[in-house]
Amino acid sequence: MHPKRQKGFALLTVLLVVALVATIASSILYQQRLDIQRSAFMLNQSQAMAVAAGIDTWVKKGLAFDASQNQVDHLAEAWAQPMLPMEFEGGDLGGQLLDMQGRFNLNNLAETDETKREAWRSLLERILTRQNLNTDWVAPLIDWVDADNNPIPGGAESDTYLLKNPPYRAANQLMVLVDEVQLLEGLNPAQFRQVRPWLSALPKVSAINVNTAPEPVLLGLAEWMNLSLVQAWLDVRMTEPANETADFRTFLGQMGGGEQNQINQDLPDWMITTQSEFFQLEGLVAYGEANLNARALYYRQDQQVSLLQRWITNADD
């Protein structure tokens, strides 16, 4: 081979080796940078999760203290006020406690007393109807939370859901999460997004707190409830919440002009309350590059507060 050609080939080989080494080195540096960033994020995420878990102590003490002060729960109390973002070393956190008994408890439709169960069903259907939403999923909801696998009229059991792709079975037990409603026959995603803020899934049948319930839930309490009556109560309860259920019924009689006996009959104490046992934390924790949504469900009985459920997810999920 000609000497000049040999030198050219050798130079080309050297250039190829240099390019290959540069590519490998660049890939190693890039992977190393990714590993460092991943490790830093995982460390930040662990710290954020530790902070989120630490909020439990604050919530439990706050709810226990509230119970020691009075036997009434309403939106003017300290627990109901949003916690503005509070800085700590390396991050910040914020959140709010929500009264889950201000919402309609889906598991009330598992009530074993047939009369009460039908009353809860009518209440939910009124909530939906007065918001111009369909009620097709209410009967499937009853089948979902009851213990048997026999569909009621308009309902749906496992034989319906096993035909879906992917197939699944009816739970035939109490709902654990409100999101389970999306599995029901007759409910579309758009409607679920609209009704979700009015619903809860609590581990036992629970009365509705009239001091914290939103407008749609209050509007569904009885056939004779109307928007002007509900709005009047929403305005009054901010400064004069009901201390007892009798106060609420008296208010409705005075403002609405209805028969007091009928009001008392339509709104019994097992349906409404002024004291709540279930509260949910909606929190946001930021630490470094990690941003987490921290949700937790608490059960308060007297001055004892227990953590029932906790969900921690990335804020972008």
Boundaries of CATH 1.10.40.60 in the chain? Answer: 106-200+214-241
pLDDT in tens, 26-36: 666 666 666 55
In whole angstroms, what is the distance from residue 57 CA to residue 65 CA?
A: 12
My answer on whether omega of the bond before 167 falls inside 30° of 0, hence cis, is no
Helices 114-129 and 138-145: crossing angle in degrees, nearest 10, is 140
Q: How many CB atoms lie within 10 A of CB 1?
A: 7
SS (H, E, C) 111-141: CCCHHHHHHHHHHHHHHHHCCCCCCCCHHHH
Dihedral through CA 226, CA 227, CA 231, CA 234, nearest 10?
70
Burial 263-277 (b: 16+ CB within 10 A, else e): bbebbeeebbbbbbb
Amino acid type, 62: G
**CATH code matching the domain that covers 106-200+214-241, chosen among 2.60.120.10, 1.10.40.60, 3.40.1500.10, 3.40.50.620:** 1.10.40.60
- CATH superfamily, domain 3-101+277-314, is GSPII I/J protein-like (3.30.1300.30)
| HSE-CB for 135 with a 13 A CA cutoff | 15
Locate CATH 3.30.1300.30 in the chain.
3-101+277-314
Q: What confidence tier does 93 reach under pLDDT thresholds 50, 70, 90? A: confident
In this prediction the pTM is 0.83
Mean pLDDT, residues 61-80 taken together: 94
Chain segment 98-139, per-residue pLDDT in tens: 999 999 999 999 999 999 999 999 999 999 999 999 999 999
**pLDDT bucket at 95, cuts 50 / 70 / 90:** confident
Q: How far apart are CA 84 and CA 120, in angstroms?
A: 36
User: What is the predicted pLDDT for the residue at 52?
Assistant: 65
